[in-house]
Amino acid sequence: MSDRKTLLVADDDYDNFILTMDALREAGLDCELYWVKDGEELMDYLLRRGAYDDPDHSPMPHLILLDLNMPRKTGHEALKEIKAHPTLAEIPVVVLTVSNIKEDMEKSLALGASSHLNKPMSFERLVEFMKVLKKYL
Backbone angles phi, psi at 79, to 5 degrees: -60, -40
pLDDT at 26 over 80: yes
The mean pLDDT of 109-120, rounded to a whole number, is 83
Say what the pLDDT of residue 120 is: 67
Q: Give the tens place of pLDDT for each residue, 54-99.
A: 988 999 999 999 998 888 899 999 999 999 999 999 999 999 877 6
Say what the pLDDT of residue 133 is: 85
Distances in Å between the alpha carbon of 25 and those of 30, 33, 77, 109? 7, 11, 30, 27
Query: Do residues 31 and 6 touch, judged by C-beta distance below 8 A?
Result: yes
> Using 50, 70 and 90 to split pLDDT, how confident is the model at 44?
very high
Residue with the bigger pLDDT between 56 and 116: it is 56
Say what the pLDDT of residue 105 is: 85
d(CA 32, CA 27): 14
